[in-house]
Chain A
Amino acid sequence: MTRARYFIGRVLRAWLTVAFVATFVFGIVHFLPGDPVDVILGDQATAEDREALRHALHLDESLPRQFGRFVSSIFDGTLGTSFRRHPETVAELIADAMQPTILLALSSLALAWAIALPLGVLAAESRGGPGDRIAMFFAALGLAIPNIWLGPLLILVFAVKLGFLPIPGDDASGALGLVLPSITLGTSLAAILTRQIRGSLREVLDQAYVVAARARGVGKLGVLLKHGLPNALLPVLTLGAAQLGALLSGAVVAEKIFERPGLGTLFLEAFFARDLPVVQGCVLVIATIYVSVNLALDLVYGLVDPRAEVS
């Protein structure tokens, strides 16, 4: 019973969050000072032009009606129509931009885990020894380098000086073109994961059942694979989901540096054109991705570890 309640409560909260984000985004666009018509047409436009645009964009309707229009555009799956590329719906634009961003995010995530797992294990196993210090040094370094600087540095070293990876603007559609953007995006995540894996694994390795396993004569690797990692990685997985936001934010930066198409590029273009429906839609979709992944991981966590329900 409690388990069912936990799941239902969790799903409801996720829905509530998405509803809140939708309202919030609508509020930002409609209540903050600043008129989209002014922003789009500039201050040279005639009064008739303004009125015409205002009418075309339904901005002359009452706020509740506009909100109703926005909500129904969410439910019919179009998310409204782009100001700039008019007949196209926001959902179509976002759907086109989604695939390269997801590819980039997944490869960054894979890279981050590939670095963080061995480093984190090394740090936890050597506990205060040289391995620990080396791993923590790299983690501190990875956290310290801003991605807006790391990207250009990587291009400078690997694409320009060494010349074995494509320069942005070249044809970078292949897997090679994904390497530098993934490093740019994945480095700070790798650093955070390393710290979390280290902390979590150290805690688990202190547990009585681990001590007992050691006393039974289970080898170091056996302890690690059978008792250490399965128990240590679970919390890291859910904590790591919180980093998804940073990954999505970072995609905006990485796509700009490496001139890649994607959700971030679409979002920035919409910003500069003040294509507010697209801005709105991007925020909503990005937040929904974030909420859904967190929800999914929480639910899986709840299934695997019943103690999660209590907290």
Chain B
Amino acid sequence: MRRLARIGRGASFAIVGAFFFAALAGPAFAPDPVGTLHLEFPYEPPSAAFPLGTGDNGIDLYSAILHGARLALVVGVWVVGISLLLGSAIGIAAGYYGGRVDHALMGFADMVQAIPAIVLNIAILAVVASPGLVHLVVALAANGWVVYARVARASTLSLRSSDFVAAARALGFSDARVLSRHVLPNVAGPLVVQATAGFGWTLLAESTLSFLGLGPGKETSWGALLDQGSAVLLRFPHVALVSGGAIALTVLGFNLAGDRLRDLLDPRSRRR
């Protein structure tokens, strides 16, 4: 079992690597460009011509998965990037200044979290006539920042009482200098760990929204493919198996990679 766990952790980086490769280079070597239909071969099971089979209107699933990886990467990078910046700024401010600032900022985070994640995302998308990529990113980042704020706050709180931060403040360094030179580098580790797993969660949220038919990625998102696959599940299960498998595997890969990174960055956590 322990060896299994080790293999799992090694595999996690392989999965993440494969995902990045598919997202960056995939669209270049995908057999079909986006939107290509093989109308005479709908819902073909996997074969030599179509390695993963075909879906609705004869779309080549192998190509679709590669294009979907690109979409997932773009959405993930933007959402995690914005959430990370916003969340760590808010969290560090809350942890460093404490008192009222802390109360106000974390109270706000609590309130945002009172609306279940997907429900808030959908409510934001509902205001736009035809949601595009930008709207999707905004909707996902609207509550995505909260978890980074919590991590950043917790780390900052423990740093604030540490000797080297106290020393830096006693030397009369400005808040900006203390924060950027002493606090930020030490908060970065946990945030990177969180962002790695967060990338997986973002992919899952994007897939879920697309699955529900709300996202912009009707042509390429893995979630949208899974939605099509669910509609023909009884006769052509391969569509749902392939697209859902891609989502599950990638999310799992990022989550395990996050765990592994935590072990590497913080050896103490391994002993628990």
Contacts and interface: CB of A to CB of B under 8 A. Distances in A.
A152 interface: yes
Contacts of B48: none
Contact of A32 (B124, B207, B247, B248): B124
Given A21-B114, A146-B207, A249 B119 contact: yes
A283 B120 contact: yes
Secondary structure dominating the interface of A: helix
B17 interface: no
A182 B71 CA distance: 31
Contacts of B196: none
A158 to B, nearest CB: 12
Interface size class, chain A = 35 or more
A123 B241 CA distance: 32
A144 B252 CA distance: 5
Contacts of A144: 248, 251-252, 255
Given A130-B1, A156-B237, A287-B114, A28 B255 contact: no
Secondary structure dominating the interface of B: helix
B110 A17 contact: yes
Interface stretch (B19-27, B35-43, B126-134, B155-163): B126-134
Interface string A266-299: 0110111010100110110011001100000000
A32 B128 CA distance: 8
Interface string B184-209: 00000000000000000000100110
Interface stretch (A2-10, A250-258, A302-310): A250-258
Interface string B38-67: 000000000000000000000000000000
A160 B233 contact: yes
A268 B212 contact: yes
A106 B193 CA distance: 34
B119 A248 contact: yes
Contacts of A252: 118-119, 122, 212
A300 B208 CA distance: 35
Contact of A152 (B212, B214, B226, B255): B226
Interface of A: 13, 16-18, 20-21, 24-25, 28-29, 32-34, 36, 38-39, 130, 133, 137, 143-146, 148-149, 151-153, 155-156, 160, 167, 245-246, 248-249, 252-253, 256-257, 267-268, 270-272, 274, 276, 279-280, 282-283, 286-287, 290-291
What 9 A-B pairs come out closest when comparing CB atoms?
A: A149-B244, A245-B116, A249-B118, A144-B252, A249-B116, A34-B127, A133-B1, A32-B127, A20-B111
